[in-house]
């Protein structure tokens, strides 16, 4: 079963949106297999956003993601990577459609509430940056 790394960013945690965001993915039928609040270190943030090194927004991004706790999660499901990105909405706040998490709750591209892996390779790398293998649980859904 495919897995993805989703992270409620500091703005989402501070705005009390963890429950709303988790509810959406649970309601969709995806399975939560790992979760924790994390104060991200600079090194961990730079590993997470390695593909953005050198971009004009990189320093702001690292400062922002280390500014307060994030809620790190691993979700599992059929095509969960593409599905969760559809539910999250576009990165550019002007293109994030109503009905998506960013479209419903975010105004700024920099304060866009949630991160989702964009490929199986990214998901594997991002999950390993936040969770030890034994923290990702394998359990049957009761229903």
Residue indicated by tokens 């703005």: 11
User: Does 112 show up as a binding residue in the annotation?
Assistant: yes
Smallest distance from ligand CMP to CB 138, Å: 27
Q: With respect to ligand CMP, which residue has the nearer C-beta, 58 or 137?
A: 58
Q: Which of 48, 52, 108, 115 is catalytic?
A: 115
Three-state DSSP class for 8?
strand
CB of 133 to ligand CMP, least distance (A): 24
Whether residue 115 lies in the annotated active site? yes
Give per-residue burial for 76-105: e unless 16+ CB within 10 Å, then b: bbeebbebbbebbbbeebeebeeebbbeeb
Catalytic residues: 115
Q: List the binding residues.
A: 9, 57, 85, 91, 102, 112
């Amino acid at each position: 079963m495919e897995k993805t790394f989703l992270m409620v960013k500091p703005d989402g945690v501070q705005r009390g949106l963890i429950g709303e965001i988790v509810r959406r993915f649970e309601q969709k039928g995806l399975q939560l297999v790992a979760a924790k609040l994390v104060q991200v270190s600079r090194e961990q943030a730079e590993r997470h956003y390695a593909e953005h090194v050198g971009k004009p927004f990189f320093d702001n991004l690292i400062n922002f993601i280390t500014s307060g706790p994030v809620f790190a999660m691993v979700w599992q499901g059929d095509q969960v990577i593409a599905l969760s990105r559809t539910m999250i909405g576009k990165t550019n706040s002007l293109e994030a459609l109503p009905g998506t998490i960013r479209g419903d709750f975010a105004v700024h591209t920099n304060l866009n509430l949630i991160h989702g892996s964009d490929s199986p390779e990214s998901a594997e790398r991002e999950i390993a940056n936040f969770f030890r293998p034994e923290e990702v649980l394998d359990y049957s859904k009761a229903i």
